[in-house]
Structure 1
Amino acid sequence: MNKAKLLALLASGEDSRHQFKRDFTHIDALAAELIAFANTGGGRLFIGVADDGQVSGLDATDVARLNQLLSNAASQSVRPPINTVTTNVKTGQGLVIVVNVAEGLNKPYVDTQGRIWVKSGADKRHVTAREEMQRLFQASGLVYADEVPARPATISDLDLSAFAQYFNRRYRKPVEVTGQQLPQLLKNLNLVRDGVPNLAGLLLFGKTPQAIKPSFVIKAVAFPGTVLHDNRYLDSEDIDGNLFEQYRRGIAFIKRNLRHVQGNQGFNSPGLLEVPEDVFEELLVNALVHRDYFISAPIRLLIFTDRVEIISPGHLPNHLDVEQIRFGLSNLRNPALASHAFYMLPYRGLGSGIPRATEAWPDIELIDDRRGNQFKAVIRRHEDGEINSQPESQPESQPESLESRVLRILANKPANKAEISAQLGQKEISGQLNKVMRDLLAAKMIEHTIPNKPNSRLQQYRLCTP
């Protein structure tokens, strides 16, 4: 770094990535600054600069002393130790030490008293809230919210009949033939921990999950205008139940509050949803599976006349940004939940949900709101096309995707494509069915019964063995 670049940075003032200090004499004060950067997003510490950005400067003796202090702080007063990179920049007022601190890979970092420091704007603060500490451990992969025991729940709070059906559908054998006691089987599938259902087990198979975790619901509201503070609404619903029930009712809420276009369908047909249903399937499942469950807050589903917003608690993990997830990069924030959702929801994993949604409907804005600690998907509604004047007012229907219907058919027994098409009520094998079958094969959710002869007339399909 040269003098010109230094002065340009100082002129911009302090923020969460740039901190100014005249000097350090106490090792604990220096360690706290390093810890705050390492626990947040990394940054630069400028020593020899006043709070207002004016260079106070250091002499050679100061630099030697501070370099030793910095070395001791980073190696002895920060746990685990961190590495810093320093640059000395010469100015007319003296030297400035620029300390580069990378975002840590082993969060949370603590001082010698076990205190956790994080950046808060241009300042730092001591973390005391349990949820915030848990998120720091989560960022390092030391703990996952979905694997934490959901006390005071017990195994009797789970719908064991629903679990047995799921197990039989996924593994193609009844629970009884495993020879394992139910608590041990649930533990092996990462649904129970220490004899208590974990959050994944409760949310997937709980009889009434909100009796234990009341915040984990979807708050859905449809407004007649374009602003959130409108005191009028067209429709509202607190959507509770297990994750599949929340998904089902969430999709139904969207469908009954969006318009329909006639497209190429017949005059008497109900029409197509103004935004492809697949878009909402992908984004709603993404919210349910990948939200931050260390935050006790609901998912919000807001429908306005010009857009639909799906707001999930928790911003993106620090190493991901919006552009990366648009290209399929992902982070398994809730691995136990995701592993089972793959077989229970139209969830394909591998970071494919966001790219699939944006491909089907490019007019989607993704907002990683770090200050508000939330992630927002904004789906723009278009006014063009032949649109019915009223939202759908038909009774709520099962919003099951074609993928889920195919998987449900194959859960009973293997079938060929013609048999699947017939069970779907199709007169002939559709292009959409062919596409879905290709996608399910590529995702390794189904497989050929004759793998060496994929075009055999005797070819059938079955669910993959995990």
Structure 2
Amino acid sequence: MSDFLNTIITKPEGKTLEFRRDCASPTLLMKTLVAFANTAGGRLVIGVGEDRQIVGMKAPLDEEERLRSLITDGIAPHLIPNIELITIHDTTLLVVEVFVSALRPHWLKAEGHEQGVYVRIGRSNYQADTALVAELGRSAEGISFDEMPIPELSKDDLDLVAIQKFFAGDWKLDEQALVTIKLLTSYQRRLVPTKGAILLFGKERILHFSDAWVQCGRFTGTDKAVIFDHTDIYDHLPGAVESIMQFLYRHIKKERPIPLTILREAVINALMHADYSQRGAPIRIAFFDDRIEIENPGTLLPGMTLDTMRQGSSRIRNHVIARIFRELNLTERWGSGIRAIFNEATDYGLPEPQIMEIGMRVRMVIYFASPGQSTTTKAQDEQSHTLPKAQAQLLVEAQGELTRKAQDEWGGDRVIRAQVRGHVDHDIIALCSEAPLSSAEIAAALGHKQLSGNLRKALPRLREAGLLEYTIPGSHNSRMQKYRLTAKGEAVHAASSIPDNSTKVQVEEQVDISEKTQGHNLIRAQGMLFCEAQDNSPIEAQVRIRILAACSVQTLSSAEIAAALGHKQLSGNLRKALPDMREAGLIQYTIPEKPNSRLQKYRLTDKGRALLRAAQEQKS
């Protein structure tokens, strides 16, 4: 009996445990047993007071018989729990153990099939809505929501161009291939898209799944009182991963780093395991000063608890989405994501992430390191003992090699261009110091939608300089190929982070300060003149700068932009400015595949954000 006291009585109430003083409220007892059977199982211990005082049962045999009758008469389908009488110090407790039922959903007969289904979230019982009742039934039958057909749609409702682009020629995406990866399925002797196919690549995804989008917000402080930046992401789900990562990377400060691999894994986990059958709210990414919260709709799958998730246990909710993410190498293996997040947070010295159920949603909280707290890896810790002079010499040599390559490549205006190259190289080295990254991941982390321009040339240049190397050197074109720092690259990264005056002097001597200043001034001047060059009108330029400033706070529709600039409607300079700015790459649609959508809004591109900064610096 002492084992029972140690393992049960001393535990807090939660998803799989509840204490009751007596059987005075039979309806509440039945709700708990139904919720246990529908969710993750659990134990109901009767005879324990609120202060954990063991009060026992006055007539335990009679109460056991009464409870069995209540369960038989009040719960459907028929539930058979394990009921035991346990005596501790001449006091008898009634312990009812319920396992996850294969006949779920169970319900209270008195309330009916539609209203009487309950699930367990935390230490409370929640009434399930129609969508959750259906999900419980599907999970019991082994049916995934995203595998179900949508009979009223056809293959033409899929964005086949986008699918082919994502698979980048690895598949010949004919009908048979689409059936193999379950984007199409047979229904009454014809092929129709699955729900997963529309969620992933539907042309009118939001029309069919109104909450299948992602809401991102950057808040000032540690609560949602003040929002600093906001964007709504309507991309195809695989593309949404990169868009979310761009948003997060834009706001991560160097003095409080967090490994991008942790964030990426958490984002992918939310997209893969969201319950898209639920209605009411999208996936939400909330960025605070001390943490990032990633929240998706849906409860934990039956049989799963927060503890089993932390231990690495996993079940797939959306089989089609998981399959596509796996084929696109967004996930390397199934079932290891959560455990990897916890392990990596430990390796980087970050506070332990939290997973919690908030109503009918699951939230993961990833904390930044406290100010001044070290987040270096073991390899970086070992390098910290290297002499600063040796590190500085490596840094000088590497910078000289990279600058020489940039000058040879660019020719004219080599000082300014070499500086731009140097910033790109430094950022890539810093990123790869955290974990090996693919070229696409590097591009996303730097705020690019794809690998192009300076970035495309920087990677081979860094490899030739001996700072980066392939993770799979024998297969250069492998889909799994990534880049990691060499020993020389690690030393260079460590040296560039050392606040040692002698190191700084040696590095600064490699660049002529006057030319550097002139270069920055030239770039700022070019930024200010860009808008004026559109039609040689300072008024037009100011309109464009004001549009950029408005869209820097949050995504805005054309009507909202007009209102922000003090206009009653979209007209004149403003009507002309928006398409001009889109063509110039300063702003972009939030729903690019639907230019005329009533939900259409505008957001800044990296180019637009850079121009706005240049204009603000020039004004100051």
TM over 0.5: yes
Aligned mate of 1:403, from 416, 423, 438: 438
Alpha-carbon distance in 2 for matches of 1:292, 1:163? 23
Specify the alignment match of 1:160 in structure 2.
Answer: 160
Inter-partner Cα distance in structure 1 for 2:121 and 2:264: 36
1:109-164 residue CA offsets vs partner (Å, 9 max, x unmatched)? 3466655344578776654x112213423553633232234576543221123334
How far did 1:239 drift? Answer: 0.8
Q: From the superposition, tell whether residues 67 and 227 of structure 1 become closer, same or farther in structure 2 (CA, over 3 Å).
A: closer
Distance 1:288 1:60, change over 3 A: closer
SS in 1 for 2:220: coil
Q: Deviations over 1:37-88 (max 9, x none)?
A: 3223434445678999995845487268448637x829x9643543413115
- Conserved 8 A contact 2:41-2:303: no
Sequence identity, in percent?
23
Q: Equivalent residue of 2:275, what SS?
A: coil
> What are the equivalent positions in structure 2 for 1:6-405 lying under 5 Å apart?
17-18=17-18, 20=20, 34-45=33-44, 57-59=57-59, 62=62, 65-66=65-66, 69=69, 73=72, 78-79=76-77, 81-89=79-87, 96-104=93-101, 106-110=103-107, 114=113, 115-119=116-120, 127=128, 129-137=129-137, 139-140=139-140, 142-149=142-149, 153-165=153-165, 169-171=169-171, 174-175=172-173, 182=175, 185-193=177-185, 194=187, 195-230=191-226, 232-233=227-228, 235-260=229-254, 274-296=257-279, 297-317=281-301, 319-322=303-306, 324-326=308-310, 328-357=312-341, 358-359=343-344, 361-363=348-350, 365-372=352-359, 373-380=361-368, 383-384=371-372, 402-403=437-438, 405=440
Deviation at residue 242 of structure 1 after TM alignment: 0.3
Structure 2: how far apart are the matches of 1:247 and 1:140? 30
SS in 1 for 2:69: helix
Tell me the secondary structure at the aligned position of residue 223 of structure 1: strand
Q: Which moved more, 1:41-50 or 1:335-344?
A: 41-50
Q: What SS is found at the alignment partner of 1:186?
A: helix
Distance 1:288 1:437, change over 3 A: farther
Q: 1:61 to 1:25 in 2, by over 3 A?
A: farther
Could you say what secondary structure the match of 2:438 adopts?
helix
Q: 1:364 to 1:294 in 2, by over 3 A?
A: farther
Contact preservation (8 Å) 2:219, 2:225: no
Q: Which has the larger radius of gyration?
A: 2
Mapped to 1, the partners of 2:475 and 2:222 lie a distance apart of: 37
Provide the C-alpha distance between the structure 1 equivalents of 2:305 and 2:23, rounded to a whole number of angstroms.
Answer: 35
The equivalent position to 1:425 in structure 2, one of 460, 467, 470, is 460
Corresponding residue SS for 2:95: strand
Distance 1:43 1:317, change over 3 A: same
Tell whether the 8 Å contact from 2:105 to 2:137 is kept in structure 1 after alignment. yes
In structure 1, what residue type is equivalent to 2:137? F
What secondary structure sits across from 1:333 in the alignment?
Answer: coil
Output the amino acid matched with 1:252. Q
Deviation at 1:383, TM superposition (A): 4.2
Give the conservation status (yes or no) of the 8 Å contact 1:403–1:440.
no
The amino acid that maps onto 2:99 is: A
* SS state at 1:370 partner: strand
| CA–CA separation in structure 1 for the residues paired with 2:358 and 2:437 | 38
Q: 1:140 to 1:342 in 2, by over 3 A?
A: same
1:356-385 CA-partner distances (Å, limit 9, x unpaired): 444264415433322433221323155449
What is the alpha-carbon distance in structure 2 between the residues aligned to residue 300 and residue 135 of structure 1?
Answer: 21
Do 1:202 and 1:209's aligned partners in 2 also have CA atoms closer than 8 Å? yes
The answer as to whether partners of 2:183 and 2:193 remain within 8 angstroms in 1 is yes
Structure 2, unmatched stretches of 5+, are 375-422, 442-455, 482-620
Return the offset for 1:253. 1.2
Aligned to 1:264: none
Higher relative contact order (CA 8 A, sep 6+): 1
- Relative to the length of structure 2, the TM-score reads 0.51
The answer (yes or no) to whether the contact 1:89–1:98 under 8 Å persists in 2 is no
Whole-angstrom CA distance in 2 between matches of 1:154 and 1:201: 11
Assess, with a 3 A threshold, how the Cα gap between structure 1 residues 241 and 342 changes in structure 2: closer, same or farther.
same
Q: In structure 2, how many angstroms separate the alpha carbons of the residues matched to 1:344 and 1:157?
A: 21
Whichever residue aligns with residue 116 of structure 1, its letter is V
* Structure 2 Cα separation of the partners of residues 238 and 319 of structure 1: 33
Q: Which residue of 2 aligns with 1:457?
A: none
- 1:445-466 deviation per Cα after TM superposition (whole angstroms, max 9, x unaligned): 769xxxxxxxxxxxxxxxxxxx
Distance change in 2, residues 1:185/1:68 (3 Å): same
Q: Distance in 2 between matches of 1:440 and 1:342?
A: 20
Return the alpha-carbon distance in structure 2 between the equivalents of residues 353 and 333 of structure 1: 14
Q: Give the Cα separation in 2 of the matches to 1:5 and 1:325.
A: 26
Report the Cα offset of residue 293 of structure 1: 2.1
Q: 1:238 deviation in Å?
A: 0.5
Instruction: Determine the C-alpha separation between the residues in 2 that align with 1:252 and 1:374.
Output: 23
Separation in structure 2 between the aligned mates of residue 141 and residue 241 of structure 1, nearest angstrom: 31
What number of residue pairs does the alignment pair up?
A: 396
Q: Show CA shifts across 1:290-339 (max 9, x none).
A: 22323332222222233332222335445445565455432212121111
Instruction: Say whether the 8 Å CA contact 2:19–2:47 is kept in structure 1.
Output: no
The 10-residue stretch of structure 1 (421-430 or 98-107) with the greater mean CA deviation from structure 2: 421-430
The equivalent residue for 2:540 is none
CA RMSD, Structure 1 to Structure 2 (Å):
5.0
3-state DSSP class of the match of 1:170? coil
CA distance in 1 between counterparts of 2:223 and 2:340 reads 28
Question: Which secondary structure does the structure 2 equivalent of 1:347 belong to?
Answer: coil
Distance in 2 (CA, whole Å) between partners of 1:363 and 1:25 is 45
Which of the two has greater helix per residue? 2
8 Å CA contact 2:138–2:145 kept in 1: the answer is yes
TM-score (normalizing by structure 1): 0.66
Distance 2:94 2:156 in 1: 61
Counterpart Cα distance in 1 of 2:269 and 2:55? 48
